[in-house]
Amino acid sequence: MFFTPVIRRSAYVPALRAVDRGFERFVNEAIVSPAAQLRARAATADQNDTHWTLQIDVPGLSREQLGIALEGAVVRIESAKDAPRAFKAAYELPQDIDAATSSAKLENGVLTLTLGKKQPVSNVTQLAIG
């Protein structure tokens, strides 16, 4: 018997890619996503004209075991080394954070961050025409 090789046309390639993407999506949802979904549910964000409000679940951690750092538009939250569980997260916001108008509160395992929006300062100077 003589077998001829199968030549795939370009019309079949997108279909194969769709199958590959479908399989990848299945694997990600089955294996990777449960932890990512827990992290996504563990934090909520809201905003108005003057500030953002982030609520992050940090059960089992006390005020002394958490460190919060603000740098530009990034807020970093990290548990201390002696904490009963490790927690580390960073959130980048679309605008710089005003540390003077920001606050943090921890109640019942929920960390609530109220982060003030830094108002942009104009550096425009007027030149006199001579």
Q: What is the CA angle 117-56-71, rounded to 5?
A: 40
The answer to whether the predicted template modeling score (pTM) of the entire model surpasses 0.85 is no
DSSP result, 25-40:
HHHIIIIIHHHHHHHH
Integer Cα distance of 126 and 44 in angstroms: 43
Which amino acid makes up residue 100?
A: A
* pLDDT recorded at residue 37: 47
pLDDT in tens, 31-84: 654 455 445 457 888 999 999 999 999 988 999 999 999 999 999 999 999 999
Tokens linked to 17: 């890619």
Pair of tokens at residue 88? 């580390």
Between 35 and 97, name the one with better pLDDT.
97
